[in-house]
Structure 1
C-alpha cells in the first residue's frame, strides 16, 4: 500500500458498518415446532445471503405465546439449552458467521426462565440473558383481551450484562423489560452500543391504543441512551391473540431506520454504522449531565 494510502487510512478510519436483522416470525400453532423451526432456518439462510452479522429472533418464537392462559401442564413448552432445535439454529448461524440472539423458554436446573442466549459469529456462547421484569396483566373485555400470566411460568433473571459480538457490545431486553428505562440505561453505562429486544407484542383488546404506542419505548430507549435498538416482534393471529409485527431498527438519535410490516413473517435487515453511537452521545451528552447522586430512590427497595 502506498504511503499516502496508509496515511489516509490512519487519518480517516473506516466506518464500523454492519448489517443487522430482526427475524420476524409468524404465529405458532400448538406443538407445531417443526414448521417454525424450518421457517427460522430459512430466515438464517437468507440472512447469510445478505451478509447479516447480528440477528435476533422474537420472544418465545418457538412456541405459542402460552402465557396468555393458565395451564398447569406447561413443561412441554420449555427446552433445556442442549435441545436439538436450539443446537441446529446455533450451528446454522455459525456456518453463516452470524452473531445470534436466540430466545426460548428455558428449563434450567434452578428454574424456568424466559431467556435469550447470545452467540458470537464463531458459535461460541457470549452470554445468556433471562428476562428480568416479569409481567402479569388481568384479562380485559373484548376480542384478544386474554391478559398475561407470565409470573406463573417464569422466574426473573438476576443480571444485566453486555456481550461482545459482531465487533460491538450489545445488551438484551426481552419484551416487558423495554418499559423500564433504568435497565436500558444500565446497559448503556456498561458499554452497550446496541440493545436487542426480542418481543411478543399483541394488540390485546385495544388495537388502536396498542398500535399507537408500539414504537414509543423503542425510540425512547434508543434516543435517551444513544444506542441502536434492534426490536424483533412476532406477527399474525394466534388464537385470540393478534401479534402486531412492525419489527424495527432505531438509530441512536431515536430515528426509525427500518420497519417490518404487519401482515406476514419477514426478515428485516438494516445496515448500521456503529460510529453513530459516539456521535449521538456527543450531541446529547447524558453521560456528562446525569445526576446519579439524586437517583437513590430509583434503586432503593420500596
Structure 2
C-alpha cells in the first residue's frame, strides 16, 4: 500500500487582507498536519481572495507576491518544520506589471520549491489580470506522482488527460468556484477522476465576497469517480482523507481507458481546431 493523507483546506479568505489570510492559512495548515495530513492544499488565490470586479489590475498586483516574498518564505519554513508538502494557490507577480500568474506554488516536505504551476485556462475577466504559459509539470513526491490544476482548468478534459499521460496518479485542484456553477462542480470533477483512473482532490474557498459567493464542498475522489470525502458548504473546514495510490494501478487493470486510447484522434482534434 502507498497511503498518503491529504489535507484540503476550505478557506474563507478576507478579501484583500494578505496578512490575515497568511496567518489564518498557517493556523489551518498546522491543524491539518496535526490530524495527520502529509500533502496539504490551499485554494485558489488564498492570500488575496478572488473578486475581479473589486480589484483594479494595479491594486491586485500590489497585493500579489514574489516567490521570495514573505508568504512563500513562511510557507517553506512551515513545510520543512512539519514535514509536509504544501500547495498554495496565490497571485504571483511577473516581471511585466500589472500582469500576474494565477499560480499554484508547490513546496516539498524539505521546504524546497518545485516548478510553479500557473492556471492555463483563464475564466472571463481573469484574462485582464493574469497570463498563462501552457506548462503542466508533474511532481515526484515520496508517495507518488502529483499533478496540479487550478479551478477552470478542470473544465477542460485535456488538462487532466495530459497530466495523467505524464504520469500523475493524483491531481490536486485548487479553486474559487462560484455558487452559480455548483452543479458542474459535482458532475465534472468525478468524471475527471474516472476517465483518467486517478485520484482527484479539490480545495475550494468558502464565503461571500462583494460580487461572488463560493460554496466550499471540497472533496476527494477515487479513481472510479466515487467521492470518498467531502466538506460542507456552510463554513470553513479542513478536510482530511487518507488514500492508497496503489489503487490507481489496480483499477487500471480493470478500467482500460488509457490502454485503449487512440492517439490518432488527438492529431485529428488538432487538425479540426486549426481548420
TM-score range, shorter chain: over 0.9
Q: Does 1:33 align with 2:18?
A: yes
Distance 1:38 1:213 in 2: 32
Q: Does 1:102 align with 2:88?
A: yes
Q: Could you tell me which of 154, 157, 160 is aligned with 1:181?
A: 157
Q: Secondary structure at the match of 2:115?
A: strand
Q: Does 1:230 align with 2:201?
A: yes
The CA deviation string for residues 157-177 of structure 1, in whole angstroms up to 9 with x for no partner, is 221120112421111110000
1:72: how far off? Answer: 4.2
Q: Could you tell me which of 36, 40, 47 is aligned with 1:51?
A: 36
Number of equivalent positions: 270
The CA deviation string for residues 159-201 of structure 1, in whole angstroms up to 9 with x for no partner, is 1120112421111110000011011101101100000100000
Distance 2:101 2:54 in 1: 17
Q: Does 1:23 align with 2:9?
A: yes
**How do residues 163-242 of structure 1 correspond to structure 2 at under 5 angstroms?**
163-203=139-179, 206=180, 210-242=181-213
1:70: how far off? Answer: 6.3
1:90: how far off? Answer: 2.1
Q: Could you tell me which of 55, 58, 76 is aligned with 1:90?
A: 76
C-alpha contact 1:55 1:100 (8 A) present in aligned 2: yes
Distance 1:179 1:127 in 2: 23
TM-score after normalising by structure 2: 0.93
C-alpha contact 1:99 1:166 (8 A) present in aligned 2: no
Q: Secondary structure at the match of 1:64?
A: coil
Distance 1:79 1:233 in 2: 21
- Counterpart residue number, 2:240: 269
C-alpha contact 2:76 2:112 (8 A) present in aligned 1: no
C-alpha contact 1:22 1:57 (8 A) present in aligned 2: yes
C-alpha contact 1:101 1:119 (8 A) present in aligned 2: yes
Q: Secondary structure at the match of 1:288?
A: coil
Q: 1:101 to 1:72 in 2, by over 3 A?
A: closer
TM-score after normalising by structure 1: 0.85
- Counterpart residue number, 1:64: 49
Q: Secondary structure at the match of 2:58?
A: coil
Q: Could you tell me which of 208, 220, 226 is aligned with 1:255?
A: 226
Q: Does 1:116 align with 2:112?
A: no
Distance 1:48 1:71 in 2: 36
Q: Secondary structure at the match of 1:122?
A: coil
Distance 2:207 2:31 in 1: 21
- Counterpart residue number, 1:77: 63
Distance 1:294 1:152 in 2: 33
Distance 1:42 1:166 in 2: 25
C-alpha contact 1:113 1:157 (8 A) present in aligned 2: no
The CA deviation string for residues 75-116 of structure 1, in whole angstroms up to 9 with x for no partner, is 223211111122112211221111111111111225521111
1:277: how far off? Answer: 0.6
Q: Secondary structure at the match of 1:286?
A: coil
Q: Secondary structure at the match of 2:52?
A: helix
Q: 1:249 to 1:37 in 2, by over 3 A?
A: same
Q: Does 1:279 align with 2:223?
A: no
The CA deviation string for residues 134-162 of structure 1, in whole angstroms up to 9 with x for no partner, is 121xxxxxxxxxxxx10000011221120
Gaps of 5+ in 1: 1-14, 137-148
